[in-house]
Amino acid sequence: MTINPIIGGWALVNKYLRDWMSFICGPRQIGKTTLIQTHLRNIRQEANYFNWDSLSVRREFAQNPHFFIENVRLPSASRRIAPWNKRPWVAFDEIHKYPRWKNLLKGFYDEWKNEIRFVVTGSARLDFFRRSGDSLVGRYFLFRMNPLHPHDLEAEVFNPETAWHPRRGIPEFDTVGTSFSGGARALLELSGYPEPLSVGTREFYRRWKDNHISLITGEDLRDLTKIASIQKLQTLLFLLPERVGSPLSLNSLKNTLQCAHGTVESWLEALEKVFLLFSLSPFVGKLKRSVVKEKKYYFWDWGVHDEQGRRFENFVAVQLQRAVSAWNEWGKGEYRIMYIRTKDGRELDFVIVDQNRPLFLIECKWGEKNLAPSVVYFKERLSVPLAIQVSGVPGILRQYQRGVFLSGYDRLLTLLP
């Protein structure tokens, strides 16, 4: 299986960087290092990759802070401002593990920005540490590398400029090719992480998942937080899969875990920081009697669910979150994904909003072939241009009225980057 993440089509392109550095962050083992190494290899600059986990890189840096220049072919002294596409790339992986990394990068960029293209990659710690202080403001754009999508499994070049996004209104659905449909099915059944997807068996995935969670809870949580009771936090993690898809009651969890409300809240925040979970807030807008406090939580790795319905909803949630990140990175809007629930029991799984204006409603029904009443109800109440009920039955597409569709999950994915 060939994996070619489409994020390289904007995170490494000057149209979206405008001479700034590219910061690429995302969950551990999502393929950031492979993305950069493949990019450098394709342009024959693989020697310009430097991983701060490497002892030899740290030794070279200690001897000469500008050690990376030795591998770089710079323009002549008479032409110090090189065209962007002629500048060499320099990639720093895990550089945030150096204590004064932001000042170091600031110095590198300010000195060499007209001659070198810089890309920086890392996981939770890069995303966390970049937020403190402002020494790099105005020098980088952040891009999030999320779990895989069928587009990442195809050889065709993805063009962000022609891709659909919610501001474009009601879309035209593309036909689904055999390879795209097969990729969507493989992702849903396994995981959006490259290694277990490439191996292709549920047995390997289970062993990989246990190792992945242990790595994150044993290292990233320890480094980013002051949580003493990692064991109780792991218990919380084991309790969450059965609660995916519903507003989460912290009071219920605090009683089960025998700890304070604030402690559970801080643990959930920590699990979001290390890219194990993400949360959705309720949308209120013009709705009366909306739930306004409780969040819904989803795993970045939907494969943690054995129950098909929960895995399906979690899968769709991740793909929508990934799309929102891409649309925002392209500058197409200020999109967010939220959910709808009212106190009289009406609910809808997801709503995509732009500056708090709802543009796109999504309801997940694994085996359902009939439209749920809530889809039309909330579309009319909120005056939303597009509403799709997503089915676990691939290939289907039915239009009930203008802007209201029942779609197989593979047809939905053709709309999303």
Of 75-79, 137-141, 172-176, 266-270, which gets the smallest average pLDDT?
75-79
Of the three residues 85, 116, 145, the one that is the final residue of a domain is: 145
Terminal C-alpha separation, the chain: 19
DSSP string of 41-62, one letter each residue? HHTT-GGGEEETT-HHHHHHHH
| 23 in any annotated domain | yes
Q: Is the pLDDT of residue 141 over 50?
A: yes
Percent of the chain residues topping a pLDDT of 90: 67
Say which CATH number the domain at 70 has: 3.40.50.300
User: Which residue shows structure tokens 């600059």?
Assistant: 45
- Residue 111 covered by a domain: yes
- Range with lowest mean pLDDT among 21-25, 68-72, 129-133, 354-358: 129-133
| Segment holding 405, helix H or strand E | strand 404-408
Q: Are residues 177 and 305 in the same domain?
A: yes
Confidence of residue 78 (pLDDT cuts 50, 70, 90): very low
User: Would you call 223 helix, strand, or coil by DSSP?
Assistant: helix
Q: Are 113 and 147 in contact (CB under 8 A)?
A: no
Does residue 293 surpass a pLDDT of 80?
no
> Looking at the domain assignment, is residue 287 inside a domain?
yes
The pTM score is 0.94
Q: Left, alpha or beta for 386 (phi > 0: left; psi -120 to 50: alpha)?
A: beta
pLDDT at 77 over 60: no
Contact 131, 142 (CB under 8 A): no
Residue 293 neighbours by CB distance under 10 Å? 8
85 and 181 co-located in one domain:
no
Strands (E), 41-173: 49-51, 89-93, 117-122, 140-144
Q: Are residues 190 and 124 in the same domain?
A: no
Question: Quick one: pLDDT at residue 377?
Answer: 94
**Residue carrying structure tokens 């590198």:** 108
DSSP lists the bridge partners of residue 404 as 387, 401
Rounded to the nearest integer, the mean pLDDT of the chain is 90
Question: Taking residues 224-246, what's their average pLDDT?
Answer: 82
Residue type, 44: R
20 shares its domain with 121: yes
pLDDT at residue number 45: 94
Residues 69 and 23: beta-carbon distance below 8 Å:
no
| 413: helix, strand or coil | helix
Q: Partners of 398 in the beta sheet?
A: 406
Residue 82 DSSP class? -
Query: Mean of the pLDDT values across residues 25-53?
Result: 95
Q: What is the pLDDT of residues 100-121, one digit of tens each?
A: 888 999 999 999 999 999 999 9
- Please determine, for residue 252, whether its predicted confidence score (pLDDT) is greater than 80: yes
The string of DSSP codes covering 192-250 is: SSHHHHHH--HHHHHHHHHHHHHHIIIIIHHHH---S-HHHHHHHHHHSGGGTTS---H
Please check whether residues 377 and 271 belong to one and the same domain.
yes
Q: Would you say how long the chain is, in residues? A: 417
Q: How many domains does the chain have?
A: 2
Residue 157 forms part of a structural domain: no
Q: Among the three residues 116, 145, 174, which one is the final residue of a domain in this structure?
A: 145
Q: What residues contact 215, with CB distance under 8 A and at least 6 apart?
A: 28
Q: How high is the pLDDT of residue 291?
A: 65
Same-domain check for residues 222 and 176: yes
Domain assignment present for 401: yes
- The more confident residue out of 129 and 170 is 170
Residue where a domain stops, chosen among 110, 145, 180: 145
Same-domain status, 178 and 122:
no
264 and 407: one domain? yes
| DSSP state string for 242-305 | GGTTS---HHHHHHHHTS-HHHHHHHHHHHHHTTSEEEEPBP-TT-SSB--S--EEEES-GGG-
- Percent of the chain clearing pLDDT 70 (strictly above): 94
Instruction: Write out the residue range of the structural domain in which residue 248 sits.
Output: 166-413
C-alpha 245/C-alpha 309 separation (Å) is 10
Do 324 and 180 lie in a common domain? Answer: yes
Q: What is the dihedral of CA 340, 345, 346, 350, to 10 degrees?
A: 30
**Res. 365: pLDDT tops 90:** yes
> Model confidence over 191-220: pLDDT tens digits?
999 999 999 999 999 999 999 998 888 777
**pLDDT bucket at 228, cuts 50 / 70 / 90:** low
Task: Indicate whether 178 and 40 sit together in one domain.
Answer: no
Tokens of 206: 């289970």
**Are residues 37 and 185 located together in one domain of the fold?**
no
Is 92 a member of any domain?
Answer: yes
d(CA 283, CA 250): 19
Within a domain: 153: no
Q: Does residue 132 form part of some domain?
A: yes
* Rg of the chain on CA atoms, in Å: 22
Residue corresponding to tokens 């929960």:
310
User: Does residue 114 sit in the same domain as residue 182?
Assistant: no
Question: Residue 155 is encoded by which pair of tokens?
Answer: 């050889």
Angle between helices 230-239 and 261-273 (to 10 degrees): 80
Count CB atoms within 10 A of the CB of residue 100.
10
Q: Which one-letter DSSP state was computed for residue 153?
A: G
